[in-house]
Amino acid sequence: MEINLGAIASPSSSQSNPVEDVIILGAGPAGLAAALYAARAELSPLVLTGTELGGQAALTHTIENYPGFPEGVGGMELGELFQKQAERFGARLEFDTAEAVDLSQHPFRVRTYGKEYRARALIIATGASPNHLEVPGEAEFTGRGVSYCATCDGWFFKDKDVIVVGGGDSALEEGLFLTRYARQVTIVHRRDQLRAGAILQRRARENPKIQFIWNTVVREIRGNAAVEAVRLENVQTGETWERPTDGVFIFIGHRPNTALFRGQLDLDERGYIKTDPLMRTNVPGVFAAGEVMDPHFRQVVTSAGMGAAAAMMAVRFLQEQEG
């Protein structure tokens, strides 16, 4: 996808906009850690937050594996702490979303819904979005029983039966959270073994409200005004059956938010931005960090580390440009 911003704004209007040293796209752990490091280098970075301040981590009820919080910390609370620390050193947050970029010229150009920015260095930390099942009924019942965020919607399922689809950390974390409200949580997993960490597996297996259906996938979500049932299929036997449920929570991984950069940056076959070990993309001055380029770890602590590294490299790039 080629994006030509030359038609978006006239040269005179572009020249009237000040050039930022660093613009950071995204305000999750990677983006806010980058903002902190760039701010401490006195670059006064501008962060375009996108639609989710704190990123996917802010939707997690409790994060127990981030260093420095032995009792755990709420995802939203951690995001607010990241933001406060970055702003303390001079980072600026704009609650706006990039809808087009032009990386073919320098300074780079970023257009939001109401404004255009220019930047000498760009750090992309746009994260990833939840994968969908792509089955009949999923789109129709999203917001009416289908959800991708237990923290957001769990309260609506008090004393109800829900299904959680997935077998990784997110599925078990959110499933355990749902037991605060739901009468029963059934985890449906396409394999016969979970991918989640050992502690989460133990907690889920020991929770009396949680049960498992193995080697099974959801083929359809059914209902009238709201979700009433799912059609399941055993992937080994081919057997199908209908199971009543009040809600379906889907946690089957994420896809990187890289649509803006297709045709401008090198992406891998899954759409993740390709970087070298120093967070550099194929365009000098453009760096990427966090889940937008990381299909492997996808942890708050690793994303924050990558954001810090990207900012350090952006500082070095700007110094070399000045030199």
**Continuous segment of H or E residues that includes residue 248:** strand 247-250
Question: Residue 218: phi, psi to the nearest 5?
Answer: -90, 125
Question: Residue 97: phi, psi to the nearest 5?
Answer: -125, 130
Radius of gyration for the alpha carbons in the chain, expressed in angstroms and rounded: 22
Is 161 labeled as catalytic in the residue annotation? no
Which residue of the set 102, 153, 169, 246 is catalytic? 153
Buried b (16+ CB within 10 A) or exposed e, 97-112: ebeebbbeebbbbbbe
Q: CA nearest 124: which of 322, 14, 269, 274? A: 274
**Continuous segment of H or E residues that includes residue 210:** strand 210-213
Quote the CA–CA distance of 85 and 57 in Å, as a whole number: 17
Buried b (16+ CB within 10 A) or exposed e, 226-260: ebebbbbbeeeeeeeeeeebbbbbbbbebbbbbeb
Is 149 labeled as catalytic in the residue annotation? yes
Query: In whole angstroms, how far apart are CA 262 and each of 76, 84, 257, 265, 272?
Result: 31, 33, 10, 6, 10
Which residue of the set 152, 192, 266, 268 is catalytic? 152
Is 152 labeled as catalytic in the residue annotation? yes
Instruction: Decide if 254 contacts 131 (C-beta within 8 A).
Output: yes
Which are the catalytic amino acids?
149, 152-153
